Amino acid sequence: MYKAIIFDMYGTIFDMRSLTNGLDQFEEQQADSIANLWRQTQLNHMFLKQIMQCYVPFEDLTKDALRYALDEHEVQYNDEDIHQLFEAFLNLQYFRELPRVFSDIKAKNIDIGVLSNANDSMLMPLVDHSEIGGYIDTVMSVNEVKQYKPSYASYALILKYYQLKRDEILFVSANSWDVTGAASFGFDTVWINRQHSNFDFNGQTPTITVNSLNELVKWLEMQYK
């Protein structure tokens, strides 16, 4: 059975809808629009940087994506504004079921790890300043290998930290591209489909699809009976 469960961060553990909490100087509709474009541009830049093999730290990439989102909304800004707005990514809210979910997983003697495209300066404020930080055993950043997910090198980082067989590791993400990458690497995968969407099939399918992390715990309980 699984000896470690590795979670993605953004959208899986931390709710990207809470990004707007740090955009409270804008009206609600504009804040939502900026946040959505900021996140989508962040991902677009990430994939393009990976294809071009032009790695930059995720913090730099995220700030560039923010500048584009503000330009598109014709918002005037300076470097101080970028620094202040970027803080929204350091104060995301975790999904409320997480403490109980992580507690149940730890009760099964399963290690909990995180693998993220973010660098440590973005990851550690979220982990260290939240209730769930105490449950997380290992925090892994692709900055160590300078390869963004879904590259093979990024998922191989898990095997560097965990001396386990691939079938002893379960990978969990709310992002279908991330699930596809981890499955292609050889991990069993869980897709968290909170939006009840169709899976964007690209050669791999998740081992299981659930609508919440609570459902993941129920599935694990059946596996461990």
The CATH code for residues 4-14+95-223 is: 3.40.50.1000
Dig out the tokens for 156 from the structure. Answer: 């191989």
What is the pLDDT at residue 82?
A: 98
Which residues of the chain form CATH 1.10.150.240? 16-90
Which residues of the chain form CATH 3.40.50.1000? 4-14+95-223
From 8, 15, 111, 188, active-site residue: 8
- pLDDT, tens digit, 9 for 90 and up, residues 109-145: 999 999 999 999 999 999 998 889 999 999 999 999 9
What is the pLDDT at residue 129?
A: 82
Q: Are 204 and 183 in contact (CB under 8 A)?
A: yes
Mean pLDDT of the chain: 96
What is the pLDDT at residue 151?
A: 97
What is the pLDDT at residue 1?
A: 87
Position 225 pLDDT exceeds 80 = no
- pLDDT, tens digit, 9 for 90 and up, residues 137-179: 999 999 999 999 999 999 999 999 999 999 999 999 999 999 9
- The packing angle between helices 58-72 and 79-86, to 10°, is 110
What is the pLDDT at residue 224?
A: 73
Question: What's the CATH fold of domain 16-90?
Answer: DNA polymerase; domain 1 (1.10.150)
Fill in the DSSP letter of residue 39.
Answer: H
3-state secondary structure 148-210: CCCCHHHHHHHHHHCCCCHHHEEEEECCHHHHHHHHHHCCEEEEECCCCCCCCCCCCCCCEEE
- pLDDT, tens digit, 9 for 90 and up, residues 8-24: 999 999 999 999 999 99
Phi, psi at residue 5, to the nearest 5°?
-120, 125
What is the pLDDT at residue 223?
A: 84
| Separation of alpha carbons 64 and 55, rounded Å | 13
Average of per-residue pLDDT across 36-53: 98
| Separation of alpha carbons 148 and 142, rounded Å | 6
- pLDDT, tens digit, 9 for 90 and up, residues 170-221: 999 999 999 999 999 999 999 999 999 999 999 999 999 999 999 999 999 9
* 8 catalytic residue (yes or no): yes
> What pTM did the predictor assign?
0.96
